[in-house]
């Protein structure tokens, strides 16, 4: 199977309709509805935890190893068996191997955007970047469909590095700033901004709150500026966060037993995943855990495992955090209602470069999904012998976006009004990945 960067290996749903209709595809109406995820059997998760591997994780060195490929292609790491018969992963994912019966692994993610910013936007919004229209992230869409009056924001990002090299990929786009993620800062174990100022009681602060409202109301009359509603929403959310014991307690990882913190790992991805569990447990609908450092252009054999010292490698830290999160959610009865997604913006080049690393490769990558009604122990799609392109069931970013929204109870086909009264849909392209359920 061959392809180039300009021709995506997946087809938008409108193209399906152009190439001969349903009959040419061998689909009756019921099959089409199932493929589009419109059947009543599609589950609806209450919340989502997205673990974003920022920089582009190598599929060949993680979830799609090719041990029989030539030396210049195959990973420097060995492979191990998993609880799923016939499924093998990188040897540095032993804890993940034990929970793969709860995970659906897509090995055929493919698109054509090999830049960090554009690739991130494509995956996190389900839309190709468009300079004239800033599409909202999936988290912002879910937030816009959620109740906004709770103590905790519906959309939270952990930590505050952003994604795609600091792009707007995970932001709210044309929906407005009120649906951006609440940013916990750079250390998920210490969210300092939630502490109320010393010597300021709730009663005294209520007076200041009322004064601030009056000043803001005056600014409306004098300046008649835009964004007033968003400022009001931000003020109310900030007040609820700082002066709600429930909200402040949700961010306090010191309330967790030592054994729990050790199970997740003390690194940022471990503490981020633990905090994410605490947040969805208390009602947050969409949490993005950002794990930076996956842009491995050099020294994969040193940077990904614990080659330098214990805790230095990306893979052992992710392995510990990811497996602990899935097991913890399952033990607490939360996995069925919480969709856990693991992905990055693209994969890496099949051939190792001169520095022992891999470069950007959007034509092949992976996505892992667990919980939220997803059936685990499944492998969807495949790449060729060198991990270059999908040979079976290509899946594109619009398919991922369409599927995530559908699993979270948001109709991807819902018509909305965009900027300037322009009619839009949440997902203009893509189809439901029916094999997941």
- Per-residue pLDDT tens digits for 179-238: 999 888 888 877 765 655 444 444 544 554 454 454 455 444 444 444 545 555 555 666
Indicate if the pLDDT at residue 128 is higher than 90. yes
**pLDDT confidence of residue 240:** 64
Judge residue 375's burial from the number of C-beta atoms within 10 Å of its C-beta, 0-12 exposed, 13-18 middle, 19 or more buried: middle
**pLDDT confidence of residue 308:** 85
**pLDDT confidence of residue 211:** 45
**Among 6-15, 107-116, 383-392, 397-406, which is the least confidently predicted range?**
6-15
* Predicted TM-score (pTM) of this structure: 0.85
**pLDDT confidence of residue 332:** 97
**pLDDT confidence of residue 238:** 61
**pLDDT confidence of residue 174:** 95
Q: Which of 194, 157, 150 is nearest to 172 (CA)?
A: 157
What count of other Cβ atoms lies within 10 Å of the Cβ of residue 231?
Answer: 17
Beta strands (DSSP E) in 286-405 are 286-291, 338-343, 347-348, 360-361, 365-370, 378-380, 382-383, 390-392
**Among 117-121, 148-152, 232-236, 240-244, which is the least confidently predicted range?**
232-236
Q: What domains lie within the chain, and their CATH numbers? A: 13-189+286-436 (3.40.720)
Indicate if the pLDDT at residue 169 is higher than 90. no
Question: What is the arithmetic mean of pLDDT over 153-172?
Answer: 74
Residues 107 and 383 sit within 8 Å (Cβ to Cβ): yes
Indicate if the pLDDT at residue 106 is higher than 90. yes
Strand 155-158 to strand 88-90: parallel, antiparallel, or no bridges (unpaired)? unpaired
pLDDT averaged over every residue in the chain = 84
Question: What is the arithmetic mean of pLDDT over 413-426?
Answer: 94
Indicate if the pLDDT at residue 362 is higher than 70. yes
Indicate if the pLDDT at residue 265 is higher than 60. yes
- Calpha distance 36→433 (Å, rounded): 8
Q: How confident is the model at residue 291 (pLDDT cuts 50, 70, 90)?
A: very high
């Amino acid at each position: 199977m061959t392809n180039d960067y300009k021709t995506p290996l997946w087809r938008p749903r409108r193209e399906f309709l152009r190439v001969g209709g349903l009959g040419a595809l061998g689909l009756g109406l019921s099959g089409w509805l199932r493929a589009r995820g419109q059947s009543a059997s599609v589950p609806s998760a209450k919340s989502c935890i997205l673990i974003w591997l920022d920089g582009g994780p190598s599929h060949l060195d993680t979830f799609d190893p090719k041990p029989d490929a030539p030396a210049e292609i195959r990973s420097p790491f060995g492979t191990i068996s998993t609880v799923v018969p016939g499924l093998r992963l990188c040897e540095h994912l032993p804890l993940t191997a034990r929970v793969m019966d709860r995970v659906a692994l897509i090995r055929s993610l493919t698109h054509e955007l090999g830049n960090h910013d554009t690739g991130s936007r494509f995956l996190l919004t389900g839309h190709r970047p468009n300079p004239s229209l800033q599409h909202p992230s999936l988290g912002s869409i879910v937030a816009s469909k959620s109740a906004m009056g709770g103590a905790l924001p519906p959309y939270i990002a952990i930590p505050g590095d952003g994604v795609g090299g600091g792009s707007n990929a995970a932001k709210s786009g044309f929906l407005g700033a009120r649906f951006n993620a609440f940013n916990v800062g750079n250390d998920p174990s210490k969210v300092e901004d939630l502490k109320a100022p010393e010597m300021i009681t709730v009663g005294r602060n209520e007076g200041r709150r009322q004064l601030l409202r009056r000043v803001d109301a005056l600014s409306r009359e004098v300046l008649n500026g835009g964004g007033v509603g968003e400022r009001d929403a931000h003020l109310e959310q900030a007040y609820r966060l700082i002066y709600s014991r429930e909200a402040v307690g949700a961010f306090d990882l010191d309330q967790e037993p030592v054994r729990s913190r050790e199970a997740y790992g003390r690194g940022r991805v471990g503490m981020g995943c633990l905090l994410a569990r605490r947040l969805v447990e208390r009602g947050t609908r969409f949490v993005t855990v950002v794990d930076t450092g996956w842009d491995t252009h050099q020294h994969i054999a040193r940077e990904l495992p614990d080659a330098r010292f214990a805790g230095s490698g990306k893979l052992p830290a992710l392995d510990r955090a990811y497996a602990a999160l899935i097991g913890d959610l399952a033990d607490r009865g939360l996995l069925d209602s919480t969709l856990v997604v693991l992905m990055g913006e693209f994969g890496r080049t099949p051939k190792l470069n001169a520095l022992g690393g891999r470069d950007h490769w959007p034509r092949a990558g992976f996505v892992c999904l667990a919980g939220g009604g997803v059936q685990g122990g499944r492998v969807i799609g495949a790449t060729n012998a060198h991990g270059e392109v999908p040979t079976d069931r290509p899946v594109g970013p619009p398919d991922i976006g369409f599927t995530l929204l559908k699993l979270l109870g948001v109709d991807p086909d819902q018509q909305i009004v965009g900027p300037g009264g322009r009619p839009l849909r949440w997902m203009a392209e893509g189809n439901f990945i029916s094999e997941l359920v």
